[in-house]
Structure 1
Amino acid sequence: MRLPPVTLPLAALLSLAACGGPAEPAAAPTSSAPSAAVRSPVAFDQSLHDELVAMLKRDQADRAGTPQTETDEARTTRLKEIVRTHGWPTFALVGADGGDAAWAIAQHSDQDPAFQQEALDLLRAAVATEQASPGNLAYLEDRVAVGRGKPQVYGTQVRCGPNGPVPSTPITDEPTVERRRADAGLPTLASYLAEMTTICARDGD
């Protein structure tokens, strides 16, 4: 099924990794991230920012039911090229919304688990230098884990079950998940699941 319309929060749109059914494990990644994880220059790149934001708009329009000529695979390929040239698109290079766009494209790169893992490593390094969003890192961390059929750390990836949203894979050490979510700047799991309950109910109509 398609994800909800773009008017919903972006994180909610990206959380339904397997709405309507269990997650299908992807092949384990076979490549490692490059040693220079964050190579973005200090100078803001307006054209690259605009390109990433436009890519995200097409990504979300596609998921809202408006088919695009550009596929997820094409967006992944372009993000790979950007990463090879600039490193991870940081706040300094493309701003917060440009960084969100790059993350969302990586989040939807399920067809290329090796690159998705590479993006995760790059994003983690960028967060360590305060050049990317910890919340985005949490979502991609869980996305990669769920793609490999592994437990998730933050409980961000859910599917719509018969009685509402359920985690796509178990949550590691669930009694302490709220602390991890708070550290990443995420809302409580209870409030998040309440939001997803509304989405699942609407999609089930």
Structure 2
Amino acid sequence: MRTSPRRLVPLATLALLVGCADTPRPVDSAATPVASTTPAAPPPVPTPSVTRSPARYDKALHDELVAMLRRDQADREGRPQAESDQARTARLKEIVAAHGWPTIDLVGEDGEDAAWAIAQHSDFDLAFQERAVELLRAAVAAGQASPGNLAYLEDRVAVAKGEPQVYGTQVRCGPDGPVPATPIRDEAGVDGRRAGAGLPSFAAYLAEMAAICAEGG
């Protein structure tokens, strides 16, 4: 199982909120009908699935997601793209509707990271970010997504709602350096939760972010 996200995206674009607050494959949950002389019981209510069918690596989808991330990053580096965040989110919604969350089996680690980064930057569509958290949580449970990615997106959604963070991933550059965008729930236990998601200690993270803030991040 992969225990930490491979950081394809600069931390400044993931953690700083400007002006606002691995590893079994997933299995198909459909049961095979069994002949019976008695009336069949009602089928169980399905739980959210990671994918709509057993995942097979899809290179074309992988390449599309990685290219979308490159454009996302170009925007954040001051190189405007014809494609907006809204357009990337709309396309990710289509991908999710067709495949479920883009898992590691389906699009590789870097493709899953790319999908997450696009969802992370979908701040204008909180409902979609909340849905992405649900799907990511199921994918992480199946060993098919990064726990660190889930931690970042869970905190992003919490901050958007004005709620306490769980992992302390969302910070702002204050006058004296980085500060959490919202309080951290049970701050004494944050390092244990971060370790469980494959993230460095909170102190190490703040030191990294302090360097970014000092550079004007």
TM-score bracket, shorter-length normalisation: 0.7 to 0.9
| 2:98 corresponds to 1:85 | yes
| 2:16 corresponds to 1:16 | yes
CA root-mean-square deviation: 1.5
Partner SS for 2:173: strand
In structure 1, what is the equivalent of residue 215 of structure 2? 202
In structure 2, what is the equivalent of residue 118 of structure 1? 131
What amino acid is aligned across from residue 172 of structure 1 in structure 2?
R
Contact 1:41 1:92 in 2 (8 A): no
Deviation at 1:17, TM superposition (A): 1.8
In structure 2, what is the equivalent of residue 44 of structure 1? 57
Q: What is the rounded CA distance, in whole Å, between the counterparts of 1:175 and 1:197 in structure 2?
A: 21
Structure 1 residue ranges without an equivalent (≥5): 1-7, 24-33
Deviation at 1:43, TM superposition (A): 1.1
What amino acid is aligned across from residue 38 of structure 1 in structure 2?
V
1:185 to 198, 206, 211: 198
Q: What is the rounded CA distance, in whole Å, between the counterparts of 2:80 and 2:134 in structure 1?
A: 31
Contact 1:22 1:159 in 2 (8 A): no
Deviation at 1:9, TM superposition (A): 5.9
Q: What is the rounded CA distance, in whole Å, between the counterparts of 1:68 and 1:166 in structure 2?
A: 31
**Using a 3 Å threshold, how does the CA distance of structure 1 residues 86 and 22 change in structure 2: closer, same or farther?**
closer
Deviation at 1:47, TM superposition (A): 0.2
Structure 2 residue ranges without an equivalent (≥5): 1-6, 22-45
Partner SS for 1:10: coil
Q: Which has the higher helix share?
A: 1
Contact 2:8 2:113 in 1 (8 A): no
**Using a 3 Å threshold, how does the CA distance of structure 1 residues 114 and 22 change in structure 2: closer, same or farther?**
closer
Identity %: 69
Deviation at 1:36, TM superposition (A): 3.5
- Superposition TM-score, scaled by structure 2 size: 0.82
Q: What is the rounded CA distance, in whole Å, between the counterparts of 1:41 and 1:60 in structure 2?
A: 31
1:171 to 166, 180, 184: 184
What's the CA shift string for 1:148-199, capped at 9, x where partnerless? 1100000000000011100000000000000000000000111110010010
Q: What is the rounded CA distance, in whole Å, between the counterparts of 1:144 and 1:128 in structure 2?
A: 19
Contact 1:44 1:94 in 2 (8 A): yes
What amino acid is aligned across from residue 141 of structure 1 in structure 2?
E
In structure 2, what is the equivalent of residue 149 of structure 1? 162
